[in-house]
Amino acid sequence: MSARQVTLAEVAKQAGVSLATASRVLNGSTRQVSEDLSERVLRTAEELGYVPNASAQALARNSSSLVGLVVHDITDPYFSCIAAGVTRVAEAAGLSVVLGTTGRRPEREAELLSTLRAHRARAVVLAGSRTTDRAAQSRLAAEIDAFTEQGGRVACVSQAKLGTDTVVPGNRAGGRALARALAELGHKKFAVLGGPSELVVARDRLAGFKAGLADAGIAPPVVINGAFTRDGGYAAAMELLGSKSRSTCVFAVTDVMAMGAMAALRERGVRIPEDISIAGFDDIPTLRDTVPALSTVRLPLEEMGEIAAGLVLDAGGDEARTIRVAGEVVLRASTAHN
Partner DNA sequence: GCAGCGCTGGAAAGCGCTTTCCCGCCACGC
Partner DNA sequence: GCGTGGCGGGAAAGCGCTTTCCAGCGCTGC
Residue pair 210/179 in contact (Cβ under 8 Å)? The answer is yes
Q: Which is nearer to its own copies, 173 or 237 (CB)?
A: 237
Strand ranges (E), 102-210: 123-126, 153-157, 165-169, 190-193
Residue 114 CB partners (closer than 8 Å, separation 6+): 143, 146
* Residue 96 partner contact from its own copies, DNA, none using kind-dependent CB cut-offs of 5 to 8 Å: its own copies
Residue pair 277/248 in contact (Cβ under 8 Å)? The answer is yes
Residues in the site for DNA, rule: CB under 7 A?
A: 4-5, 7-9, 16-21, 23-24, 26-27, 29, 31-34, 37, 50, 52-53, 56-57, 59-62
Q: Which is nearer to DNA, 23 or 277 (CB)?
A: 23
CA pair distance 17, 9, nearest whole angstrom: 9
Binding segment for its own copies (CB under 8 A), chosen from 127-135, 195-203, 206-214, 281-289, is 281-289
80 counts as binding its own copies under rule CB under 8 A: yes
260 counts as binding its own copies under rule CB under 8 A: yes
Shortest separation between residue 42's beta carbon and DNA, angstroms: 13
212 counts as binding its own copies under rule CB under 8 A: no
CA pair distance 207, 199, nearest whole angstrom: 12
CA pair distance 123, 43, nearest whole angstrom: 33
* Residue 149 partner contact from its own copies, DNA, none using kind-dependent CB cut-offs of 5 to 8 Å: its own copies
Q: Which is nearer to DNA, 21 or 137 (CB)?
A: 21
148 counts as binding its own copies under rule CB under 8 A: yes
CA pair distance 327, 296, nearest whole angstrom: 9
Interface with its own copies in residues 12-51 (CB under 8 A):
49, 51
* Residue 114 partner contact from DNA, its own copies, none using kind-dependent CB cut-offs of 5 to 8 Å: its own copies
Q: What is the 3-state secondary structure (H, E, C) of 236-284?
A: HHHHHHHCCCCCCEEEECCHHHHHHHHHHHHHCCCCCCCCCEEECCECC
